[in-house]
Amino acid sequence: MEQVEETSTTISEVLQLKEEQNSYIASAKERMSDVISNFSAAVETSVTLSDFSQIFKTVNVWVRLRPRKLSQYAEIIQERSGEGRLSVRYSDEDFLPNIKDTLKENRLKVISIDHNIIDCKTPKPSDQDIDIAVQKIKVLGSTARNSLAQVKADSIQRLQAALKNEYVEARDVKQAADEIENIEQKFAIFLLYVRLEAEKKLAGKFFKYESDEIKNIHLSMVRRVRKDGRVEI
């Protein structure tokens, strides 16, 4: 599997939108930019190599002869999968043995306990963990790609409605529609770059390309970002 050097720039630092005089084109670009931002945020918040967020919700403890979920007394407050660390806050010392047992069952090693905060070391992700996380990113990427196409279709439909109502000339509609088509393709390439960067960050040395074509597109974008520091659309 090919190892690729990591980059550390964020989407907001890289993507820049050119100012547009045509309001239909400007609106389409803003909406497509939002698609990219939403994809990046979804990856950041919902994709991890190992998800420990629900481990206390499946464990019952007994309180006054009644079962209660351990999640009522313990919660994950900080998970840093990239750093291999996780923190747990608990509210009742009586359930500390149950919490420790649950952590142990999930291969979480307790490093320290202080002021009702347990710091843990997370286990090294398995190949399966990496594959599942990468597949989640691909699904999110596919959804985002469909959203870009939908924005393009909506924008062209708005242009056609404006033409029908005689708000714009046919020549201007054709020119704007062609430009929106072109812009959507540029955003699609940028989305691919962002997706692959996310996959690369998670998979590390296990990262691999789906095809030579995708590899060439990605590496071209990487070189462009390194040279110019931004991608202007």
Instruction: Give per-residue pLDDT as tens, 17-59.
Output: 999 989 999 999 999 999 999 999 999 887 877 778 888 998 9
For all residues of the chain together, what is the average pLDDT? Answer: 89
In the chain, count of helices (H) and strands (E)? 6, 8
Which tens digit of pLDDT belongs to each residue from 82-113?
568 889 999 999 999 999 999 999 999 999 99
Side-chain half-sphere CA neighbours of 16 within 13 A: 10
Rounded Cα gap, residues 24 and 158, in angstroms: 8
The answer to whether the Cα torsion of 216, 219, 223, 229 is positive or negative is positive
Residue of 122, 131, 43 whose CA lies nearest to 83: 122
pLDDT band at 6 (very low <50, low <70, confident <90, very high): very low
Q: Hey, what domains does the chain have and what are their CATH numbers?
A: 11-47+126-232 (1.10.132.20), 60-121 (no CATH)
Q: Are 31 and 185 in contact (CB under 8 A)?
A: no
Pull the structure tokens for residue 75.
């919660």
Q: Count of CB atoms within 10 A of residue 20's CB?
A: 16
Written as six digits, the tokens of 69 are: 């979920």
Query: Which amino acid belongs to residue 231?
Result: V
Whether residue 4 is predicted with pLDDT greater than 60 in this model: the reply is no
pTM of the model: 0.76
Strands 231-232 and 15-16: parallel
Distance separating alpha carbons of residues 219 and 196, to the nearest angstrom: 10
What's the Rg (C-alpha) of the chain? 24
> In angstroms, what CA-CA distances link 213 with 12, 82, 217?
26, 29, 6
